[in-house]
A and B are shown apart, each in its own frame.
Chain A
Amino acid sequence: EAQVTQNPRYLITVTGKKLTVTCSQNMNHEYMSWYRQDPGLGLRQIYYSMNVEVTDKGDVPEGYKVSRKEKRNFPLILESPSPNQTSLYFCASSLRTGGTEAFFGQGTRLTVV
C-alpha cells in the first residue's frame, strides 16, 4: 500500500533532550516536506527536500534540522526541543516538485515540557 509513515505518533519529552521524528514513503516520491500545525495557524512548512541531498528551509525552520540521505526517508531532528515546539507535525511527499498532490503521514503529536 502506498503510504507515508511517521513515527512516533505521540511523544512527550523534556526541554533540551534531542529527538528525531522519522518519515518514510514508499512511492518513490522526489519531494518531501515537514509541517507543523498549530491552532489557527494552519499548516506551516518547516523544511522541504526536492530530492536526495537537496533540502531547504520552509517558513518556520528555527530549532529544526533535516536530512535526505535516501529518497524514501526524511527525518526531522530537534536538537534541543523547547516548549514552543509543542505541536502536531506532519510529513508529506509528492511525486515531483510543482503541480502534484501531497500525501500526508498520520501526524506526530509532540509535547515538550
Chain B
Amino acid sequence: GQQLNQSPQSMFIQEGEDVSMNCTSSSIFNTWLWYKQDPGEGPVLLIALYKAGELTSNGRLTAQFGITRKDSFLNISASIPSDVGIYFCAGWATTSGTYKYIFGTGTRLKVLA
C-alpha cells in the first residue's frame, strides 16, 4: 500500500541538540501533518502544513511543506528529554477519487540527558 518514506528511522541525541527528520513521497500531497506519539498513547498533532513552501513553527518545532509537494521536514531545536517518542508525518492521498489518510514509517527519537 501507499506509504510515506520517513528518515531517519531512529535517532539518539544529546539533550540540547537540534534534530531534523524528513518525509518524502512519490506522489503529490495537498496537506502535510506531523504527529508525535508518546509511549502507550495515540499520535497527537504537532504541526499542519497546507501550502507548498509553507514554513510553520510551534515553539521549538519548525516544519516546512516542500515546494514540489512531495516532501516535508520537521526540525526540533534544543531538544529536551520529553521530546522522546515516535514522530510521524502524514498526509491525505487521493487514489481513484477516494481519500486515504496515510502515515510515514516514523522516526523514533531518544534524548540522552
With an 8 A cutoff between CB atoms, is B2 at the interface? yes
A63 to chain B, nearest CB (A): 15
Cβ-defined contact, B104 with A42, below 8 A: yes
User: Which of A4, A31, A59 makes the CB contact (< 8 A) with B2?
Assistant: A59
Name which residue of chain B comes closest to A90, CB basis. B42
Within 8 A of A (CB), among B1-39: 1-3, 6, 9, 30-31, 33
**Chain A interface residue count: which class?**
20 to 34
Q: Which residues of B contact A102 (CB under 8 A)?
A: 33, 43, 45, 90, 101
B32 to chain A, nearest CB (A): 11
User: How many angstroms from the CA of A103 to the CA of B35 in the assembled complex?
Assistant: 10
With an 8 A cutoff between CB atoms, is B65 at the interface? no
A100 to chain B, nearest CB (A): 8
Instruction: Encode contact with B along A4-34: 1 for CB under 8 Å, 0 otherwise.
Output: 1000000000000000000000000001010
User: Which of B3, B33, B99 makes the CB contact (< 8 A) with A42?
Assistant: B3
Cβ-defined contact, B41 with A107, below 8 A: yes
User: How many angstroms from the CA of A4 to the CA of B43 in the assembled complex?
Assistant: 12
Within 8 A of B (CB), among A46-60: 48, 50, 56, 58-60
User: How many angstroms from the CA of A98 to the CA of B100 in the assembled complex?
Assistant: 8
Cβ-defined contact, B40 with A43, below 8 A: no
Q: Which residues of B contact A104 (CB under 8 A)?
A: 42-44
B113 to chain A, nearest CB (A): 25
Cβ-defined contact, A98 with B92, below 8 A: yes
Within 8 A of A (CB), among B73-103: 88, 90, 92, 94, 98-103
Nearest 6 pairs between A and B by C-beta?
A: A59-B1, A104-B42, A42-B105, A43-B103, A97-B99, A101-B45
Known: A98-B94, A101-B45, A104-B44. 13 other contacts (CB 8 A): A40-B9, A44-B1, A48-B101, A56-B98, A59-B2, A59-B100, A92-B101, A99-B31, A101-B33, A102-B90, A104-B42, A105-B42, A107-B41
